[in-house]
Amino acid sequence: MRSKLLAADLSAGPEPVNASVIRRHAARHPPSAARPVPDHHLPTDGTPAGTVLHVVGVHLFLQDADGRVLLGLRHPDSAYAGRLWHTLAGHCEREDAVSSLIREAEEQAGLLLDREAIDLVHLVHSQNSPTASPRIQLFFRARTWSGVPRVREPDRCVEWRWFDPGSLPDNTVPYTRQAIEAILASHPYSDMGWTR
Protein backbone atom coordinates (compact mmCIF):
# COMPACT_ATOMS: atom_id res chain seq x y z
CA MET A 1 0.00 0.00 0.00
CA ARG A 2 2.89 2.35 0.79
CA SER A 3 4.32 2.06 -2.70
CA LYS A 4 0.89 2.63 -4.30
CA LEU A 5 0.33 5.78 -2.27
CA LEU A 6 3.78 7.19 -3.06
CA ALA A 7 3.29 6.51 -6.77
CA ALA A 8 -0.28 7.76 -6.94
CA ASP A 9 -1.00 10.97 -8.85
CA LEU A 10 -3.39 12.72 -6.53
CA SER A 11 -3.15 16.15 -8.25
CA ALA A 12 -6.18 15.50 -10.39
CA GLY A 13 -8.68 15.59 -7.58
CA PRO A 14 -9.23 15.84 -3.87
CA GLU A 15 -6.97 13.66 -1.80
CA PRO A 16 -8.68 11.00 0.30
CA VAL A 17 -8.97 12.01 3.96
CA ASN A 18 -6.16 9.84 5.37
CA ALA A 19 -4.03 9.50 2.24
CA SER A 20 -1.86 12.55 2.92
CA VAL A 21 -1.08 11.39 6.45
CA ILE A 22 -0.19 7.91 5.23
CA ARG A 23 1.94 9.28 2.38
CA ARG A 24 3.85 11.62 4.72
CA HIS A 25 4.43 8.78 7.21
CA ALA A 26 5.60 6.43 4.45
CA ALA A 27 8.00 9.08 3.12
CA ARG A 28 9.52 9.76 6.56
CA HIS A 29 9.77 6.07 7.52
CA PRO A 30 11.16 4.12 4.63
CA PRO A 31 11.22 0.35 5.08
CA SER A 32 14.20 -0.83 7.07
CA ALA A 33 16.56 -3.51 5.89
CA ALA A 34 15.04 -6.91 5.56
CA ARG A 35 13.53 -7.96 8.87
CA PRO A 36 14.21 -11.46 10.11
CA VAL A 37 11.29 -13.72 9.37
CA PRO A 38 10.29 -16.05 12.21
CA ASP A 39 11.24 -19.65 11.55
CA HIS A 40 7.86 -21.42 11.48
CA HIS A 41 8.57 -24.50 9.43
CA LEU A 42 5.58 -26.79 9.26
CA PRO A 43 5.98 -30.52 8.85
CA THR A 44 4.39 -31.93 5.74
CA ASP A 45 1.21 -32.76 7.67
CA GLY A 46 0.75 -29.10 8.70
CA THR A 47 1.49 -29.65 12.39
CA PRO A 48 3.69 -26.91 13.90
CA ALA A 49 7.23 -28.08 14.67
CA GLY A 50 7.61 -29.23 18.26
CA THR A 51 3.96 -30.17 18.61
CA VAL A 52 3.33 -33.56 20.21
CA LEU A 53 0.08 -35.11 19.09
CA HIS A 54 -2.00 -36.80 21.79
CA VAL A 55 -4.14 -39.89 21.42
CA VAL A 56 -7.73 -39.30 22.56
CA GLY A 57 -9.46 -42.14 24.37
CA VAL A 58 -13.12 -42.32 25.34
CA HIS A 59 -14.32 -44.28 28.37
CA LEU A 60 -17.75 -45.21 29.64
CA PHE A 61 -18.36 -44.66 33.34
CA LEU A 62 -21.52 -46.68 33.77
CA GLN A 63 -23.23 -47.37 37.09
CA ASP A 64 -26.17 -49.70 37.65
CA ALA A 65 -29.11 -49.02 40.00
CA ASP A 66 -26.98 -50.20 42.95
CA GLY A 67 -24.14 -47.79 42.11
CA ARG A 68 -21.83 -50.53 40.85
CA VAL A 69 -19.42 -49.68 38.01
CA LEU A 70 -19.15 -51.70 34.79
CA LEU A 71 -15.67 -53.03 34.01
CA GLY A 72 -14.42 -55.45 31.38
CA LEU A 73 -11.64 -58.01 31.82
CA ARG A 74 -9.16 -57.47 29.00
CA HIS A 75 -8.16 -60.53 26.97
CA PRO A 76 -4.74 -61.92 28.03
CA ASP A 77 -3.41 -61.33 24.50
CA SER A 78 -4.94 -57.88 24.14
CA ALA A 79 -2.64 -55.18 22.74
CA TYR A 80 -3.27 -53.17 25.90
CA ALA A 81 -3.78 -54.14 29.55
CA GLY A 82 -4.10 -57.90 29.14
CA ARG A 83 -5.72 -59.57 32.19
CA LEU A 84 -6.65 -56.19 33.70
CA TRP A 85 -10.10 -54.75 34.41
CA HIS A 86 -10.91 -51.60 32.49
CA THR A 87 -13.89 -49.43 31.64
CA LEU A 88 -15.45 -49.83 28.20
CA ALA A 89 -13.07 -47.73 26.14
CA GLY A 90 -11.75 -46.96 22.69
CA HIS A 91 -9.90 -44.40 20.63
CA CYS A 92 -11.49 -41.53 18.78
CA GLU A 93 -11.38 -42.07 15.08
CA ARG A 94 -12.31 -39.25 12.69
CA GLU A 95 -15.40 -38.44 14.77
CA ASP A 96 -16.41 -36.41 17.79
CA ALA A 97 -15.78 -37.95 21.21
CA VAL A 98 -19.45 -38.62 22.07
CA SER A 99 -20.07 -40.34 18.73
CA SER A 100 -16.96 -42.43 19.36
CA LEU A 101 -18.26 -43.47 22.78
CA ILE A 102 -21.69 -44.38 21.38
CA ARG A 103 -20.07 -46.46 18.63
CA GLU A 104 -17.68 -48.24 21.02
CA ALA A 105 -20.45 -49.06 23.52
CA GLU A 106 -22.48 -50.80 20.83
CA GLU A 107 -19.50 -52.54 19.20
CA GLN A 108 -17.96 -53.81 22.42
CA ALA A 109 -20.91 -54.55 24.67
CA GLY A 110 -24.16 -54.17 22.72
CA LEU A 111 -25.17 -51.12 24.74
CA LEU A 112 -27.19 -48.33 23.16
CA LEU A 113 -26.48 -44.87 24.54
CA ASP A 114 -28.55 -41.71 24.19
CA ARG A 115 -26.39 -38.75 23.11
CA GLU A 116 -28.53 -36.38 25.20
CA ALA A 117 -27.90 -38.43 28.37
CA ILE A 118 -24.08 -38.46 28.24
CA ASP A 119 -21.97 -36.17 30.44
CA LEU A 120 -18.21 -35.64 30.51
CA VAL A 121 -17.23 -36.36 34.13
CA HIS A 122 -13.44 -36.64 34.12
CA LEU A 123 -10.28 -36.21 32.07
CA VAL A 124 -7.01 -38.03 32.76
CA HIS A 125 -3.94 -36.61 31.00
CA SER A 126 -1.50 -39.52 30.94
CA GLN A 127 1.90 -40.49 29.67
CA ASN A 128 3.21 -44.05 29.95
CA SER A 129 6.78 -43.31 28.86
CA PRO A 130 8.82 -40.52 27.26
CA THR A 131 8.63 -42.29 23.90
CA ALA A 132 4.93 -43.22 23.89
CA SER A 133 2.26 -40.82 22.65
CA PRO A 134 0.69 -38.85 25.51
CA ARG A 135 -3.01 -39.49 25.99
CA ILE A 136 -6.13 -37.53 26.78
CA GLN A 137 -8.52 -39.99 28.44
CA LEU A 138 -12.12 -38.70 28.48
CA PHE A 139 -14.54 -40.37 30.90
CA PHE A 140 -18.23 -39.99 30.17
CA ARG A 141 -21.18 -40.96 32.37
CA ALA A 142 -24.26 -42.34 30.62
CA ARG A 143 -27.33 -41.45 32.66
CA THR A 144 -29.48 -43.86 30.67
CA TRP A 145 -28.80 -46.75 28.30
CA SER A 146 -30.47 -49.82 26.90
CA GLY A 147 -29.17 -53.34 26.59
CA VAL A 148 -27.38 -55.80 28.82
CA PRO A 149 -23.56 -55.80 28.62
CA ARG A 150 -22.35 -58.79 26.63
CA VAL A 151 -18.98 -59.69 25.15
CA ARG A 152 -19.02 -58.74 21.46
CA GLU A 153 -15.26 -58.48 20.88
CA PRO A 154 -13.86 -61.60 22.60
CA ASP A 155 -10.35 -60.94 21.30
CA ARG A 156 -10.26 -57.77 23.42
CA CYS A 157 -12.57 -58.40 26.39
CA VAL A 158 -13.52 -61.76 27.88
CA GLU A 159 -16.06 -60.65 30.53
CA TRP A 160 -18.16 -57.70 31.69
CA ARG A 161 -18.88 -57.39 35.40
CA TRP A 162 -20.32 -54.83 37.84
CA PHE A 163 -18.13 -53.79 40.79
CA ASP A 164 -18.60 -51.72 43.92
CA PRO A 165 -16.54 -48.61 43.06
CA GLY A 166 -15.04 -48.66 46.56
CA SER A 167 -13.80 -52.24 46.10
CA LEU A 168 -12.31 -52.41 42.62
CA PRO A 169 -10.21 -55.47 41.77
CA ASP A 170 -6.47 -55.21 42.44
CA ASN A 171 -5.82 -55.78 38.73
CA THR A 172 -7.67 -52.66 37.57
CA VAL A 173 -5.91 -50.43 35.01
CA PRO A 174 -4.20 -47.74 37.19
CA TYR A 175 -5.57 -44.69 35.39
CA THR A 176 -9.06 -46.27 35.38
CA ARG A 177 -8.91 -46.67 39.16
CA GLN A 178 -7.64 -43.08 39.48
CA ALA A 179 -10.46 -41.77 37.27
CA ILE A 180 -13.20 -43.67 39.14
CA GLU A 181 -11.93 -42.37 42.48
CA ALA A 182 -11.78 -38.83 41.08
CA ILE A 183 -15.29 -39.07 39.59
CA LEU A 184 -16.71 -40.20 42.92
CA ALA A 185 -14.94 -37.23 44.57
CA SER A 186 -16.27 -34.84 41.86
CA HIS A 187 -12.80 -33.96 40.57
CA PRO A 188 -12.93 -33.18 36.83
CA TYR A 189 -9.20 -33.59 36.09
CA SER A 190 -6.21 -35.71 37.05
CA ASP A 191 -2.95 -36.67 35.43
CA MET A 192 -0.55 -39.59 35.57
CA GLY A 193 2.99 -40.35 34.45
CA TRP A 194 4.25 -36.79 33.99
CA THR A 195 7.44 -35.60 35.65
CA ARG A 196 7.31 -32.15 37.11
Which pLDDT score, from 0 to 100, does residue 82 have? 87
Q: What's the confidence (pLDDT) of residue 188?
A: 98
The residue with greater pLDDT, 48 or 30, is: 48
- Between 65 and 45, the more confident residue is 65
Q: Is the pLDDT of residue 12 over 60?
A: no
> What burial letters (b/e) apply to 140-174, b meaning 16+ CB within 10 Å?
bebeebeeebebeeeebbeebeeeebeebeeebbe
What predicted TM-score, i.e. pTM, was given to this entire model? 0.75
Mean local confidence (pLDDT), 12-36: 51
Give pLDDT tens digits for 61-100. 999 999 999 999 999 998 889 899 999 999 999 999 999 9
Asked whether residue 39 carries a pLDDT value surpassing 50, the answer given is: no
The mean pLDDT of 37-64, rounded to a whole number, is 77
CATH 3.90.79.10 in the chain: give the residue spans.
55-192
Mean pLDDT in residue range 131-158: 95
Within a 10 A sphere around the Cβ of 84, how many other Cβ atoms? 19
pLDDT band at 130 (very low <50, low <70, confident <90, very high): confident
Residue 104 pLDDT more than 70?
yes
Going by pLDDT thresholds of 50, 70 and 90, the confidence category of residue 51 is confident
Pick one of 3.10.290.10, 3.30.70.20, 3.90.79.10, 3.40.50.150 as the CATH number of 55-192: 3.90.79.10
pLDDT band of residue 29 (cuts 50, 70, 90) is low
